[in-house]
Structure 1
Amino acid sequence: MRRFYLFGFLLLMSFDTLAQLSFKLAGSHALPVAANLGWLLRVFGQPWIYGALVGYLGAFFTWMSLLKHAPIGPAFAASHLEVVSVMLLSVWLLHEPLTTPRVLGAVAIVAGIVCLGAAERDAPEAVPDIAG
């Protein structure tokens, strides 16, 4: 089951990261933003918008599969690891600055996920209430 969680959350993080970076790239290539048909055509003329759609659909189905088995607390926290992966890939691919507050935020996110995972591992098994 551990391998399932590891693979599942890595897949979820990959799909979420693909979606976020694709939206950024599609939006950047469709500037200037305007509420008109020309802007929509520019957006949907970018291949990145379809990467975003694939990313969101993949993330949705991966998340639904993980929720069948994973405890909700740590699963919800781990589902936000894409914040860290998007930040790191944005530094590399989009040349965005890596600042101290961003690094500290990423460390806090990872530390929170580790704490939730440890708490879940050490928690006693829940007994289902069938009486009621």
Structure 2
Amino acid sequence: MLLRCLLFCLCLNTHLAQAQEAPAPRPVRDSAYAVHNLFRDRRQRALKGGSLGLAGLAGAGLAAAYKQPGLSGGLLLLCIGTTALDLRQLSRYSESRETLVATRYEQGWPLPPDVRRRLKAKYFHAFK
């Protein structure tokens, strides 16, 4: 009877000790990895949008060459606006800013609020 009681207490003690263990903190490089993925993804999006904007500018030039001022003016305004936004996106997520944010984070500085706000779960995993 005593042996059963001791065995029961031993099993209970090991289960309680396992349940109370705190999960290990995530390494710093997980967040740094997510920052690299965020910057790479935003740069690729900006390059795609910028190339579409430049194609639209070429289309506006062709519309102006074929004497369609209404079409060329509207297309020109739309493409200039989107291309300007994509250039702004490229400067915001440049490689130099990426290295600055990542090295500061690895040195113990907090992530800037705009970067922290944009980090989502998909950036912590490898892109397919």
Normalising TM by the smaller chain, what interval?
0.3 to 0.5
For normalisation by structure 2, the TM-score amounts to 0.42
Q: Larger C-alpha radius of gyration, 1 or 2?
A: 2
Structure of greater relative contact order (alpha carbons < 8 Å, 6+ residues apart): 2
Question: Higher helix proportion, which one?
Answer: 2
